Amino acid sequence: MTAPGSAPRVGAALAFDGIRVQYAGRPLPALQQVTFTAHPGLVTAVVGPNGSGKSSLVRTLLRRAPVIAGRVLLDDRDIAPLDARALAQQVAIVTQREEPGMPLFVREFVMLGRHACRGAFGAPSDFDRALVEESLVKAGIADAIDRTTDSLSGGEWQRVRIARALAQDTRVLVLDEPTTFLDIAHEMAVFELVDALAKEGRTVLLVSHQLNLVARFAEHIVLLDHGRVAAAGDVNAVMRGEILEAVYNWPLVVTRDPAVGVPALLPLRGRGRSR
């Protein structure tokens, strides 16, 4: 984010190194030896079917997953010693679900993204206010700045949450299913925003079930299946029919997106290829 007088952010390499997550009462790990790196200047997407471990990966960053092995690294430094404030100065996370405890004005809610960068009782600066306004513009929700959070639709609420993450002005941005509740136009706008932020130099980790949009925008794709990395690499390495059909357990074909020429997934009807 580049408010007046600020310099563009340069991302930090975010690496998951042998992550193993095991929830109590579950026979199998949610994540099993997951290793990959999200690099600055690129969109790295994590995809996979429901229950594949995508959200558990985000929960490891939030310290809400029982990690029994492995490390998360920022530029080769383990994040484990960082307190919540220090981590929030480096990584902004938009979780899949969130409900505000009480209604706030949108301006106030997005300003919460600046909390980690201010003193406990510090008033917002002109720089903070500029970042909040710029974040709302980039998230496409500036017209809601004086509304309250309980007056927002599902799609508006999602964009306001993205604006709060942008206002943190971090080196790394992590988004877990950020286009939930969004219509086609706003869904595309979010992906284009994510792409622009990466091109500014930030590290962007995107968790999404929108495989065809991921194929358009992500330079690196990590496909999870039952907590393991089933495939990883560029779009041509991952978006392959034999790989996706086995992971999603559904008949499909991979064709070409007529707009941009990248692979595109086309699910077939029912379980018969002839239908």
Pair 227, 32: CB distance under 8 Å: yes
Between β-strands 43-47 and 172-176, what pairing exists: parallel, antiparallel or unpaired? unpaired
Higher pLDDT, 263 or 180: 263
Q: Which residues pair with 253 in a beta bridge?
A: 266
Question: What is the predicted pLDDT for the residue at 275?
Answer: 39
Residue 275 belongs to some domain of the structure: no
Pair 111, 132: CB distance under 8 Å: yes
Distance CA 27, CA 209 (A): 25
pLDDT tens track for 7-17? 556 889 999 99
Q: Tally helices (H) and strands (E) across the chain.
A: 9, 12
Side chain identity at residue 11, one-letter code = G
Q: Which two tokens stand for residue 21?
A: 């997550």
Between β-strands 203-207 and 172-176, what pairing exists: parallel, antiparallel or unpaired? parallel
Residue 221 belongs to some domain of the structure: yes
Around Cβ 49, how many Cβ atoms within 10 Å? 17
Residue 188 belongs to some domain of the structure: yes
Distance CA 99, CA 152 (A): 12
Residue 52 has pLDDT above 50, yes or no: yes
Question: What is the predicted pLDDT for the residue at 89?
Answer: 93
Residue 272 belongs to some domain of the structure: no
Average pLDDT over residues 45-68: 95
With b for 16 or more beta-carbon neighbours within 10 A and e for fewer, the 153-170 pattern comes to eebbbbbbbbbbbbbbbb
Residue 228 belongs to some domain of the structure: yes
pLDDT tens track for 132-155? 999 999 999 999 999 999 999 988
Question: What is the predicted pLDDT for the residue at 116?
Answer: 85
Distance CA 87, CA 172 (A): 10
In total, how many domains does the chain have? 1
How would you classify residue 169: left for phi > 0, otherwise alpha for psi between -120 and 50, otherwise beta?
A: left
User: Range of 179's domain?
Assistant: 14-267
Residue 194 belongs to some domain of the structure: yes
Question: What is the predicted pLDDT for the residue at 38?
Answer: 98
DSSP secondary structure letters along 89-126:
TTEEEE-S----SS--BHHHHHHGGGGGGS-TTPPPPH
Residue 81 belongs to some domain of the structure: yes
Q: 2 — phi, psi (to 5°)?
A: -125, 75
pLDDT tens track for 179-200? 988 899 999 999 999 999 999 9
Around Cβ 82, how many Cβ atoms within 10 Å? 17
Question: What is the predicted pLDDT for the residue at 3?
Answer: 53
pTM: 0.91
Residue 68 belongs to some domain of the structure: yes
- The average confidence (pLDDT) of the chain is 91
Residue 232 has pLDDT above 70, yes or no: yes
Residue 57 has pLDDT above 90, yes or no: yes
Question: What is the predicted pLDDT for the residue at 7?
Answer: 53
**Minimum mean pLDDT among 1-10, 30-39, 144-153: which range?**
1-10
pLDDT tens track for 83-139? 999 999 999 999 988 877 789 999 999 999 998 887 656 788 999 999 999 999 999
- Kindly report the CATH number assigned to the domain that includes residue 75: 3.40.50.300
